[in-house]
């Protein structure tokens, strides 16, 4: 249930993730969590800002932002630390 | 006074900003605001995480995170939107 409302931010254009969020909100999601790691973090902030200021202006807002450190396995099999962000966007 | 405790995150290595924060905390700052725009946003998250999990472990924590959109003037003189983040780190 919770996973349903999660949008993982990767290397696609910002608009692709904005559209994924709009679709989920139109399917009756009350809130969505944007998750990103490493360099995609700034794109997650872009998605949140474009949503609340343009595509869903006055209809959604950012209600929580958490940052964390995650361990990922590199191609060589070593563990590496990477920063992560979770931005919660909620219908008003 | 408020500006004193602001650290602007740019293109330097993460450690440079971590050291700037440690210096400010040692000079009796109770809290520091990390400010970053665009692609530097993920570096700001790195700085916050390295501070609270390594260099100042159990001594500081993230107490607030705000995101925003700012307008900047391009080299051609046009206005362009850029996402921004402010991360507040506070002594425990």
| Residue spans per domain, chain A | 3-91
- Say which residues have a Cβ less than 8 Å from residue B85's Cβ, sequence separation at least 6: A45, B34, B35, B36, B37, B41, B44, B45, B65, B66, B67, B68
Q: Which residue has the higher pLDDT, A28 or A65?
A: A65
Q: How much is the pLDDT for A86?
A: 98
The CATH number of B3-91 is: 3.30.110.20
Lowest mean pLDDT among A35-44, A47-56, B59-68, B70-79: B70-79
Separation of alpha carbons B72 and B82, rounded Å: 7
Q: How much is the pLDDT for A1?
A: 45
ipTM: 0.90
pLDDT, tens digit, 9 for 90 and up, residues A71-86: 999 889 999 999 999 9
Q: Does A65 touch chain B (CB under 8 A)?
A: yes
pLDDT, tens digit, 9 for 90 and up, residues B4-47: 699 999 999 999 999 999 999 999 899 999 999 999 999 999 99
Q: Does B42 touch chain A (CB under 8 A)?
A: yes
- Residue B32 C-alpha, separation from nearest chain A C-alpha, in angstroms: 16
Provide the token pair at A46. 């872009």
Q: Which of A45, A66, A83 is closest, CB to CB, to B67?
A: A45
Q: Does A14 touch chain B (CB under 8 A)?
A: no
Residue B2: is its pLDDT beyond 90?
no
Provide the token pair at A77. 């099999």
The residue in chain B having the minimum alpha-carbon distance to the alpha carbon of residue A14 is B83
Separation of alpha carbons B6 and B77, rounded Å: 28
């Amino acid at each position: 249930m919770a996973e349903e409302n999660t949008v993982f931010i990767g290397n696609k254009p910002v608009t692709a993730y904005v559209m994924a969020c709009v679709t989920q909100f139109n399917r009756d999601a009350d809130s969505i969590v944007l998750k990103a790691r490493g360099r995609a973090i700034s794109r997650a902030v872009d998605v949140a800002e474009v949503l609340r200021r343009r595509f869903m202006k006055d209809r959604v807002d950012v209600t929580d932002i958490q940052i964390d450190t995650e361990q990922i396995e590199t191609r060589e099999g070593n563990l590496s630390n990477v920063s992560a962000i979770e931005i919660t966007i909620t219908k008003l």
